[in-house]
Amino acid sequence: MVRKILISQPRPSSEKSPYFDMEKEYGVELVFRPFIKVEGLSSKDFRQQKISILNYTAVVFTSRHAIDNYFKLAKEMRLEIPETMKYFCVTETIALYIQKYVQYRKRKVFFGKTGKIDDLLPTMIKHKTEKYLIPMSDVHDDSVKTLLDSKKLNHTECVMYRTVSNDFTEEEIKTFDYDMCIFFSPSGINAFKGTFQDSKNNNVIVGTFGPATAKAAHDAGLKVEFEAPTKEHPSMTSALKDFLEKNK
């Protein structure tokens, strides 16, 4: 019986989150506690990549972290982002987040529907004369580079933020009593293994989001009960609800 679940993400800001509906419907306790945290690169570290932000006419954002650190670095380096800059985002939610930093204009903000950069490609190809800058985490593969190379787009990837372990306190480790953990990145899996590898808590069952996270969980020998996204369950909340419904 699953009664207490650790979600390795920050607590949702909206009380209307489906997670809270699940707590009431299935009588489970959900605890939000990130295993990892994101740290932005300093302007000094970023300059070592020898990339000039203003040399690019468009930016591709895959996350809110990318937006935050792009504008933070620009401010630190006293750069004024021109109003002509175009922004390409993998989802509308991420696109709307840009309003935190600049006035949102539909003519210069583009977004996909699936959350995958493949969905943005047709729009990017329509703007093939742009010079694209793609802010990324220090943990990434070459899939984006390979994809954009295949379409002969002018692009440069750069690291603007890094993922580090959000260390657990001794008390948290001592009182760990979760039946299930939900992971969203390979870094979260690594942080969990690094913290609890010598503990009976390795018997906890897990749910994963994203193929890379699932692979990391299987490689780590964890008991993966379900994976998302799938055709039937495109979100983690949908996948978790389905698991709880089948196991109530």
**Final residue of a structural domain among 115, 143, 163:** 163
Percentage, residues of the chain above pLDDT 90: 63
Q: pLDDT confidence of 27, banded at 50, 70, 90?
A: very high
Rounded to the nearest angstrom, the gap between the alpha carbon of residue 95 and the centroid of all alpha carbons in its chain is: 15
State the residue for tokens 């055709």: 231
Same structural domain, 86 and 133: yes
Task: Tell me which residue of 145, 127, 160, 149 sits closest to 51, measured CA to CA.
Answer: 160
Question: Quick one: average pLDDT of 219-227?
Answer: 93
Answer whether 10's CB lies under 8 Å from 186's CB: no
Same structural domain, 174 and 109: no
Question: Quick one: average pLDDT of 15-40?
Answer: 92
Q: Where are the alpha helices (DSSP H) in the chain?
A: 18-26, 43-47, 64-76, 92-97, 121-126, 143-150, 170-174, 186-196, 211-219, 236-246
Same structural domain, 99 and 129: yes
- Which pLDDT does position 198 carry in this prediction? 59
Same structural domain, 240 and 146: no
Render pLDDT for 137-192 as a digit per residue (tens, 0 to 9): 987 888 899 999 999 999 999 999 998 878 888 888 888 889 999 999 888 898 88
Same structural domain, 177 and 118: no
Q: In the beta sheet, which residues pair with residue 59?
A: 87, 133
Round to whole Å and give the CA distance between 105 and 159. 26
Answer whether 139's CB lies under 8 Å from 186's CB: yes
CATH of the domain at 159: 3.40.50.10090
Same structural domain, 122 and 173: no
Tokens encoding 211: 């193929």
Same structural domain, 23 and 77: no
Same structural domain, 211 and 241: yes
pLDDT over 60 at 200, yes or no: no
**Final residue of a structural domain among 163, 180, 210:** 163
What residues make up the domain containing 21?
Answer: 4-35+168-246
The overall average pLDDT reported for the chain is: 91
Same structural domain, 159 and 174: no
- Counted domains in the chain: 2
pLDDT over 70 at 12, yes or no: yes
Round to whole Å and give the CA distance between 138 and 239. 28
Same structural domain, 157 and 57: yes
Q: How many residues does the chain have?
A: 248
